[in-house]
Amino acid sequence: MSPIRSTTSSKFSTASVKWKQFPKFRRLWSAEFFCPHLQRHFKKRCQRIKILHLLILPEAQKVNAPDREKEMRKTHYIPVTADVPGAASEGNCALIRKVIHTALAAEGVDVPCEVDVLLTNDSGIHEINREMRQVDASTDVLSFPEFDLRPGELPAPEDADPGTGLVPLGDMVISMEHVAAQAKEYGHSNRRELAYLVVHSMLHLLGYDHLDEGPQKKQMRGREEAILAELGISRED
């Protein structure tokens, strides 16, 4: 039986973010008043960028962050950023990207997507949780979906950012301190715990949830186990 988890999915707060702070979105400024589709992307993406700017210090590592054009040739763009030393190691980045690619394929997503990943510590995820969800506590993973999907409902090509051609699925924030602590608690490796949290977060980005102890949670747990099995990651790892 799966251990009880406290992983969290969250919609964005309505806190505004001034577009002028983010040059990459200035090109959308004039268009967003005339096109509802662009307006939706503009507002949500500014909110997403706020999350990743809350804690990323000047010395934050973008270790192993792939070149955008190179990553787009691989279909999905998955930048991994860390604000704690050593978190964005080559092994961690490779595992995270492999898990995300596998989860997207398993769920039938066949459009190019962007998923932004931030690796932080307990105090970092605590601050983001407080700022974005008004929850004054740390946690293991936070998921910030771009779209209000339901399980089995997939993003479409028209959901893509017009500037990149990528569908921005959302962001995940993972506390590496929680990864280590929970791996020890459950008796498996940090690698298995990190993979589990990435799968869990990806399912949130794709519309799954576990707000009840009934069918929703059972459905999500079933998909988690199936994707981990496809990755060859067992509880003994």
**CB within 8 Å of 149: residues ≥ 6 apart:** 155, 206, 207
In tens, the pLDDT along 56-91 reads 444 454 445 455 544 444 589 999 999 999 999 999
- Compute how many other C-beta atoms are within 10 angstroms of the C-beta atom of residue 167: 23
pLDDT of residue 164: 87
Report the amino acid identity of residue 171: D
In tens, the pLDDT along 207-236 reads 999 877 778 889 999 999 999 999 999 877
pLDDT of residue 39: 45
Cβ atoms of 93 and 64 closer than 8 Å: yes
pLDDT of residue 44: 54
Cβ burial, residue 73 (10 Å; 0-12/13-18/19+): exposed
The residues facing 170 across adjacent strands are 115, 145
Q: Mean pLDDT across the stretch 149-164? A: 91
**Residue 22: is its pLDDT beyond 50?**
no
Cβ atoms of 167 and 206 closer than 8 Å: no
Q: Mean pLDDT across the stretch 171-177? A: 96
Q: How far apart are CA 100 and CA 47, in angstroms?
A: 22
In tens, the pLDDT along 36-48 reads 444 444 455 555 5
- Compute how many other C-beta atoms are within 10 angstroms of the C-beta atom of residue 136: 9
Domains of the chain: 22-230 (3.40.390.30)
Q: Which residue has the higher pLDDT, 179 or 157?
A: 179
Q: Which two tokens stand for residue 112?
A: 């190019």
pLDDT of residue 48: 55
The residues facing 119 across adjacent strands are 82, 174
In tens, the pLDDT along 177-196 reads 999 999 999 999 999 999 99
Cβ atoms of 188 and 235 closer than 8 Å: yes
In tens, the pLDDT along 99-150 reads 999 999 999 999 999 999 999 999 999 999 999 899 999 999 999 999 999 9
Cβ burial, residue 168 (10 Å; 0-12/13-18/19+): buried
